[in-house]
Amino acid sequence: MYHSSTQKRYWTFGGEEELEQRRAEANRKFRSKAMGSGKVHPTDSVLMEPHEELALCKYYEKRLLEFCAIFKPVMPRSVVGTACMYFKRFYLNNSVMEYHPRIIMLTCAFLACKVDEFNVSSAQFVGNLRESPVGQAKALEQILEYELLLIQQLNFHLTVHNPYRPFEGFLIDLK
């Protein structure tokens, strides 16, 4: 299955250099777009370098893992793995300066729940956020607003082959 999958075809890379090039290109595109609008100048400190964007992404990856770890009901590992993969894939081709990582992080987790058939309602999902009911409603609105964008930016490649099930089978075979 994996050998004929979109994950292998489109999301398996030759090395770290290729990933860095993609991130740098996403950064360059956003910088050009921002400077083209005339609101930002090349010397403005609001523009991040690719390595700064990567550091921010790493921070939000940890936040995503923390969110999934305290999620009630307990989120299966495959859902957590899928959410992390979506987050990483999204920021290979997009800039954190254009799309806030917190919203994308939550949207990735929400979409992963759907794709991996972990049935939680939208109210249950946002109920796991440490926010007021008004904040939860706003978060849900943003998640639903960004869901289609996320799917489009992932090129509709939503199946993620996580290593968990094959690894568990391997451990059972060892016993």
Residue pair 75/53 in contact by the 8 Å Cβ criterion? no
**What is residue 166's predicted lDDT score, i.e. its pLDDT?**
55
Q: At the fourth CATH level, which superfamily is domain 10-174? A: Cyclin-like (1.10.472.10)
* pLDDT, tens digit, 9 for 90 and up, residues 63-112: 999 999 999 998 889 899 999 999 999 999 999 999 999 999 999 999 99
Residue ranges per domain, the chain? 10-174
CA distance 73 to 86: 21
pLDDT of residue 7: 61
Output the pLDDT for position 18. Answer: 84
pLDDT of residue 145: 95
**Prediction pTM value:** 0.84
Predicted local confidence at residue 160, as pLDDT = 77
pLDDT(162) > 90: no
- As a dihedral over the C-alpha atoms of residue 67, residue 58, residue 19, residue 31, rounded to 10 degrees, the angle is 110
Q: What is the pLDDT of residue 126?
A: 92
How many other C-beta atoms are found inside a 10 Å radius of the C-beta of residue 57?
20
- Quick: pLDDT tens for 102-158: 999 999 999 999 988 889 999 999 999 988 999 999 999 999 999 999 999 988 977
Q: How far apart are CA 9 and CA 35, in angstroms?
A: 34
